[in-house]
Amino acid sequence: MEMRIKYGSEAISLEIPLENFVRLIVPKEVKTKPDTLEELQRVMTNPQGPALDELVKSKSVLVMVEDHTRDEPHWELIHAVMPYLVDANFVQFIITTGSHVVDHPENQVIVGMIKQAAEDNGLKNYRIKINDCQNEDVVNLGTTSRGTPVIIDADAANHDVYVALADMKAHYFAGYSNALKDFLPGICAYETIEANHSMALDPNSTFGQHPYHPIPGRRNNPLADDMREAMEMITEDAKSFTLSVITNQGKLVWADAGELEPVISRGIEVLDEMTSFTVKPTSKIIVSPGGYPQDLSLYHAQRGLELTKNAVADGGEILFLAECRDGVAPPKAVENFYKKMLVPVGEIIESIKGKYNLYEHKAYKFAELLQRLSAIKMFTELDRETVESAHLIKVEDPQQVIDGWIAEDPNVKIIVLDKANKLAVYS
C-alpha cells in the first residue's frame, strides 16, 4: 500500500504491504466550509452572548492574534473581527508569542495583515505589538491559587474588552489549544510561563482534559486550570470575547464566536469527535507532525510524538518524519530543551526533578518516551550529530526503515499517524 505523508512543505511516499499495515490515522474527514471568511462573518453575527460591536463601543480593547507557529487562517480571522472594532475608543493588537520567537519574518506578515485590515475598515486609533516575554515593561496582577505570578505586558493591562482570535486543537499538556492560551502564555512574562509550564510534569496535565470540557470527569488538568484562573485575573471586570476556529488541511471545519467558556467547550466537543482515536498499541509506528509549520523545529515537532505515543507498545520503535528547517528549537529554548537532552536519558529525568526551568518539560517528556522504547528513528534535515547527540537515530531513507522492520519480522504490524500535532491517541 502506498501513501503520501506530510514532511515540511512537501509529502513523501511510503509503501507498506497490506499484511503489515494496520491503519492510517489522520484527523477524521469532516465537511469543510467553502468560504472561510463568509463562515467567520456568519458566526460573528450570531455569537454566544453579546455582539462584539456592542461590547467595544467607546471602550479600550485588546485584540490577541496568535503568532506564526499557529496553522490557522490569520487573514480571515483578522478581517472578520475588524469591522466590529471601529467604534472602540482605542484598540491594542498584540501578537501572542508567549515564549516563541518575537522577530520572526512570519510575525511581521501578520502585522502587515492587521495594518491592511485596519486601513480597509477605517480603524484609526490602534497600535500593534508583538509580545516579548523578556520585556521589562510589565504589570504584576498577583498570583493564582497554584502560585503562578500573573505578570503581563503592560500594554495588555487595563482594557475594557479582551478579544482572543484562536485556533483549537489537542495539546499534549494544556489539554487543548484554545483562547485561554492567548492570555497565558500569549501575553505573559517569562516568569509566568515558566511557573505555569512547570505543571506539565504533572501526569494530569495531558491531552483530553480541560476545565471547560463538556464531560465533568474530564476537567482535571492543573496546568489548564491555572491558565483559566490567570485569564480571569487578567480580565477581572472586563468583558471577554473569542472568535475560535478548527481547521483541517488548511480548510475551515468549525467556527464559533462569543463568550469564552461556551465557545471553548463546544470546540472541545468537535475536536473530540474529529481528532480522538483509541488504538491497540503496535511495536512499530510512523509519525509525522503534519508538515510545516508543525515540524518547523524539533521543539515544535515533538508535540506529534506526545499526542500519539500511546499507539506504540513498550519496547517498540517510532519512525519520526520531521523536517525541522528552523533547527532544534527557538533560540530561547535551546539551553533548557535541547542541551538538557545531551546527557544519558536517566540523568535528564533526574536533573529536572528539582527546580523547573522553562522548556525543561519537553526534555523530560522526550526522556520518558525514550526510556520505554527501543528507538526513535528520525528522518529530518537536522545533521546526524545534532540528532544522535539527543538519543535519536538519524535515517537517510524512511522506506529502508520500513523494509528493515519487515525483514526482521514479516508479521510486524505498523500504524501510520499523519498530522499528529492535531491528533489525540488513547490506548
The rounded mean pLDDT for the chain is 96
Q: Three-state DSSP class for 215?
A: coil
- pLDDT bin (cut points 50, 70, 90) of residue 69 is confident
Work out the burial of residue 7: count CB atoms within 10 Å of its CB; fewer than 13 is exposed, 13-18 middle, 19 or more buried.
Answer: buried
Q: Are residues 270 and 322 in the same domain?
A: no
pLDDT above 80 for 384:
yes
What pLDDT, on the 0 to 100 scale, is given for residue 236?
96
Query: What would the pLDDT profile of 282-335 be if each residue is shown by its tens digit?
Result: 999 999 999 998 999 999 999 999 999 999 999 999 999 999 999 999 898 999
- Pick 250 or 198 by higher pLDDT: 198
Q: Check whether residue 116 and residue 260 sit in a common domain.
A: yes
Same domain, 209 and 298: no
pLDDT (tens digit per residue) in 149-195 = 999 999 999 999 999 999 999 999 999 999 999 999 999 999 999 99
Confidence of residue 389 (pLDDT cuts 50, 70, 90): very high
27: preceding bond cis by omega (within 30 degrees): no
Whether pLDDT at 372 is above 90:
yes
CATH code of the domain covering residue 374:
3.90.226.30
Q: Residues 294, 168: one domain?
A: no
Q: What is the pLDDT of residue 101?
A: 84
By mean pLDDT, which of 1-15, 52-66, 317-331, 348-362 is the weakest?
348-362
Rounded Cα distance between 135 and 158, Å, is: 18
Which residue from 223, 177, 210, 221 is spatially nearest to 72, judged by alpha carbons?
A: 177
48 and 142 part of one domain: yes
* pLDDT at position 124: 93
Residues 302 and 250 in one domain: no
DSSP states of 304-347: HHHHHGGGEEEEEEEEEE---TT-SS-GGGIIIIIGGGGS-HHH
- pLDDT for 70: 85
Coil vs helix vs strand at 169: strand
Distance of alpha carbon 184 from alpha carbon 189, whole angstroms: 9
Residue 412 has pLDDT above 80, yes or no: yes
For residue 362, is pLDDT > 80?
Answer: yes
The number of residues making up the chain comes to: 427
Same domain? For 254 and 296 the reply is no
Q: How many CB atoms lie within 10 A of CB 144?
A: 21
Torsion of CA 55, 58, 60, 65, to 10 degrees: 50
Amino acid at position 17, single letter: P
- Cis preceding-peptide flag for 398 (omega within 30 of 0): no
Is 182 in the same domain as 296?
no
Write out the three cell numbers for 370.
525514550
226, 258, 274 - which closes a domain: 274
Same domain, 50 and 11: no
User: What is the CATH classification number for the domain harbouring 160?
Assistant: 3.40.50.11440
Within 123-250, residue ranges assigned H as helices are 180-183, 190-197, 222-235
What's the burial of 407, exposed, middle or buried (CB within 10 Å: 0-12/13-18/19+)? Answer: exposed
Q: Which one, of 252, 247, 322, lies nearest residue 290 by Cα?
A: 322
Express each pLDDT in 227-286 by its tens digit. Answer: 999 999 999 999 999 999 999 878 999 999 999 999 999 999 999 999 999 999 999 999
Which triple of cell numbers denotes residue 219? 476537567
**DSSP code, position 154:** G
Domain end marker among 240, 257, 274 = 274
Q: Please list the helix, strand and coil fractions of the chain in percent, rounded to the nearest 5, in that order.
A: 40, 25, 35
Task: Please check whether residues 316 and 349 belong to one and the same domain.
Answer: yes
Per-residue pLDDT, 29 = 84
pLDDT at 71: 81
- Same domain? For 380 and 300 the reply is yes
What percent of the chain shows pLDDT beyond 90? 93
pLDDT surpassing 80 at residue 353 = no
The proportion of the chain whose per-residue pLDDT surpasses 70, expressed as a percent, equals 100
Q: Are 214 and 197 a contacting pair, CB within 8 Å?
A: no
pLDDT band at 378 (very low <50, low <70, confident <90, very high): very high
Q: Which three cell numbers stand for residue 399?
A: 522506506
* Residue 278, φ and ψ in degrees, nearest 5: -115, 130
User: Which residues span the domain enclosing 378?
Assistant: 2-27+279-426
Q: Single out the residue in 236, 258, 274 at which a domain terminates.
A: 274
- Kindly report the pTM of this predicted structure: 0.90
174 and 205 Cβ atoms separated by less than 8 Å = yes
Q: Report CA 169 to chain centroid distance, whole Å.
A: 7
Residue 58 gets which letter from DSSP? T
DSSP per residue over 259-284, as a string?
A: SHHHHHHHHHHHHHHHHEEE---EEE
What is the number of domains present in the chain?
2
Q: How confident is the model at residue 395 (pLDDT cuts 50, 70, 90)?
A: very high
What does the pLDDT average to over 359-377?
96
Q: Residue 355: pLDDT above 90?
A: no
d(CA 13, CA 210): 37
Same domain membership, residue 255 and residue 392: no
The whole-number pLDDT of residue 137 equals 96
CA angle at residue 175 from 169 to 179, to 5 degrees? 60
Judged by DSSP in three states, 175 sits in: strand
